[in-house]
């Protein structure tokens, strides 16, 4: 294969490369490109083009814009692959952050520095590192598919530098606040719901997604199969977050007893049935996540608890188990985390206390007979 360069104006060069014969027509095929800059750089560009042709990695540039490809990718490749809430997050990242900045670029024009500037600009605007990572996940996913479709050769998003995500300090109820909160639950219509959250560590959506067929009171088990979430279409049930999220959790005796009382109350009100929500309004409709949060805030206000979030009940469940010396792997499975490293990272502060307590137990193994043990006569080391 051969090629040549010829002037095409001031600082502009026309590059013509022979690309063999078109297999469909048998006619000679030429690739023409224009390059703005020095002739030496144009020659280097031509050399890369020839190498791609020789290695079979050449991709014919498309006139498709990044905006067009994102729409194609989201609607034709991800719509049926992602949970509704995840798809909406991806679509929001594309529409609000990616398209306004780089959407007009042709797909083959995208460079790493375009993406790095986008991420840096978003940080300057006050967007969180977590949001930057969401944006990057969308771009990386779209470019990966573009490569599979032979629209691109390289994924330029792999070379960017992403901001570090600092894990927020988790919110846990103190033992005193936990006691005050529990005292307010008996008699409240949603009292059993909060008790179930505190006694199982399930997520808010998992709780509101429960139907009575998911509750096995005879064996004291609750089966997590789906969750209730709000989307643009309204409240819907959707599959669990991960395979690990679909799990069975044993019920503490106190929680089981409270659910028995709650079940009898629902039967009396005519709101009980296998497919009926375990926690519903007086009209039998599902309790919205927003209203559950409002009720939690009201109870915290009555108990004098400040700064707590509904998710604090999940964190409190896990923290109390770890404080009692429960195995981290067991806590991971109860919480439905995919990786044990996630559990370890979130509850690292608890693990430190547990490890310290474990090491202190070694003191019992060191007797006064060792040469390092302090004695009455000499309780210091010189």
The pLDDT of residue 77 is 97
- Nearest Cα to Cα of residue 28 among 41, 17, 13, 43: 17
159-195: b (≥16 Cβ within 10 Å) or e: ebeebeeeeeebebbeeebbebbbebbeeeebbbbbb
Distance CA 125, CA 148 (A): 34
pLDDT value at position 31? 79
Q: What are the structure tokens assigned to 14, written together?
A: 């026309």
Which run of H or E residues covers position 70?
A: helix 66-72
Cβ–Cβ < 8 Å for 273, 267: no
Query: According to the model, what pLDDT value does residue 18 have?
Result: 80
Closest CA to 193 of 258, 108, 238, 119: 258
How many angstroms separate the CA atoms of 45 and 33, rounded? 10
Residues belonging to the chain: 382
Rounded to 5 degrees, φ, ψ at 333 are -70, -35
pLDDT at 25 (0 to 100) = 76
| 3-state SS class at 277 | strand
Q: Which domains does the chain have, with CATH numbers?
A: 3-55 (no CATH), 66-159 (1.10.150.130), 175-314 (1.10.443.10)
Task: List phi, psi (to 5°) of 15.
Answer: -110, 125
The segments of the chain whose pLDDT lies below 50 read 381-382
């Amino acid at each position: 294969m051969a090629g040549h360069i010829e002037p095409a104006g001031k600082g502009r060069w026309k590059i013509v490369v022979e690309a063999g014969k078109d297999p469909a027509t048998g006619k000679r095929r030429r690739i023409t490109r224009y390059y703005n800059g020095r002739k030496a750089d144009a020659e280097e560009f031509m050399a890369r083009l020839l190498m791609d042709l020789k290695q079979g990695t050449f991709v014919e540039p498309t006139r498709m814009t990044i905006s067009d490809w994102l729409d194609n990718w989201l609607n034709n490749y991800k719509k049926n692959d992602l949970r509704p809430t995840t798809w909406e997050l991806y679509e929001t990242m594309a529409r609000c952050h990616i398209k306004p900045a780089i959407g007009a670029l042709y797909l083959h024009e995208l460079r790493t520095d375009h993406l790095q500037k986008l991420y840096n600009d978003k940080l300057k605007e006050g967007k969180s590192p977590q949001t930057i990572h969401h944006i990057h996940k969308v771009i990386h996913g779209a470019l990966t598919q573009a490569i599979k479709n032979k629209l691109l050769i390289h994924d330029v998003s792999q070379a960017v530098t992403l901001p570090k995500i600092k894990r927020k300090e988790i919110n846990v109820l103190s033992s005193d606040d936990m006691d005050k909160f529990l005292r307010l639950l008996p008699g409240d219509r949603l009292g059993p719901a909060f008790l179930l959250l505190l006694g199982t560590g399930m997520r808010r959506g998992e709780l509101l997604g429960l139907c009575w067929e998911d509750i096995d009171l005879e064996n004291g088990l609750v089966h997590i199969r789906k969750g209730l979430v709000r989307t643009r279409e309204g409240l819907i049930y959707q599959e669990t977050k991960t395979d690990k999220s679909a799990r069975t959790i044993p019920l503490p005796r106190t929680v089981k007893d409270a659910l028995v009382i709650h079940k009898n109350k629902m039967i009396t009100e005519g709101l009980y049935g296998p497919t009926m929500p375990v926690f519903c309004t007086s009209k039998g409709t599902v309790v919205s996540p927003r209203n559950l949060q409002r009720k939690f805030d009201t109870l915290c206000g009555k108990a004098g608890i400040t700064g707590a979030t509904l998710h604090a009940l999940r964190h409190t469940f896990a923290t109390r188990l770890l404080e009692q010396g429960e195995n981290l792997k067991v806590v991971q499975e109860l919480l439905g985390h995919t990786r044990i490293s996630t559990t370890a990272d979130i509850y690292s502060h608890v693990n430190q206390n547990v490890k310290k307590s474990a090491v202190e137990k070694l003191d019992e193994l060191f007797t006064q007979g060792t040469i390092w043990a302090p004695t009455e006569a000499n309780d210091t080391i010189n």
